[in-house]
Amino acid sequence: MPLSLHWRRWGTSPNLVTLLRPLCTGPFVWLCVQAEPASATWARVGAVGLFGLIAATDLLDGWLARRLQQVSGLGRWLDHLCDVGFILTALGFFVTRAVVPWWLPVSIAWAFSLYVVKSWCWRTARPLPSLLGSRLGHVGGVLYFAVVGLVTVQWCTGGSLLPAQGLQGVFMFLALLAFVSGGEHLMQVMRRRLQINPEAPTAGMPTQSDCSAP
């Protein structure tokens, strides 16, 4: 494929905005590390501000894609991968600082992995492989982004934003949401497999002819 065609597919304005998220992920984690001392006001302000920029790109890329009529399956994949990459990296850092429990990013990874598997199972029914829409998954995605912002502000204010019990309640709710969302995707994958191969559940079981008298 010519280089110019590759660039036309990848180098759209919405995709370039989306790619700002992985580019900003490393500096975001670095600022969070630097923000540990209470005296590092510059790093704390920078971490919160950079999170705001990253969140803004998540809103802007979709709006640009619709406005410029550049919505594509590739752009959707890129958007979701950059979202989950940032969310899991940020939460993973906070896990190392005992601010976030390990099971929260694990549950989010579980839900997203099954979301990808579900979309892959439907690929033969579409002209191009594309991530399928999920209302519960969309709500979860917004809330996962929001909890990263919440934890970032909590981290940069020395834990004064919310009491520990309130924060744990938020984490448990989001983990449950991710578990339910992943379960929904898993059930849809199983139903899809039954549609493609309806005789699979009876494989290895005796048929009517097997049971007939000789």
Per-residue pLDDT tens digits for 60-86: 998 999 898 888 878 888 998 999 999
- DSSP class of residue 163 equals -
pLDDT digits (tens, 9 = 90+) for 5-17: 444 556 788 999 9
Q: Is the pLDDT of residue 24 over 90?
A: yes
Q: Is the pLDDT of residue 195 over 70?
A: no
pLDDT digits (tens, 9 = 90+) for 113-130: 888 877 777 655 444 445
The mean pLDDT value for 176-190 works out to 84
Half-sphere exposure of 47 (CA within 13 A, CB side): 24
Burial of 207 (0-12, 13-18, 19+ CB in 10 A): exposed
Half-sphere exposure of 29 (CA within 13 A, CB side): 18
Q: What was the pLDDT predicted at 27?
A: 98
Q: What was the pLDDT predicted at 71?
A: 84
Q: Is the pLDDT of residue 172 over 90?
A: yes
Query: What is the amino acid identity at position 130?
Result: S
| C-alpha span between 65 and 1 (Å, rounded) | 24
pLDDT digits (tens, 9 = 90+) for 141-170: 899 999 999 999 999 998 878 888 899 999
Decide: pTM greater than 0.85: no
- Among the ranges 92-96, 137-141, 163-167, 191-195, which has the highest mean pLDDT value? 92-96
Domains within the chain, CATH numbers bracketed: 6-196 (1.20.120.1760)
Q: What was the pLDDT predicted at 177?
A: 92
Are the beta carbons of 178 and 134 closer than 8 angstroms? no
| C-alpha span between 212 and 206 (Å, rounded) | 10
Cα of 101 vs its chain's centroid, Å: 18
**Residues 193, 113, 100, CA angle at the centre, nearest 5°?**
145
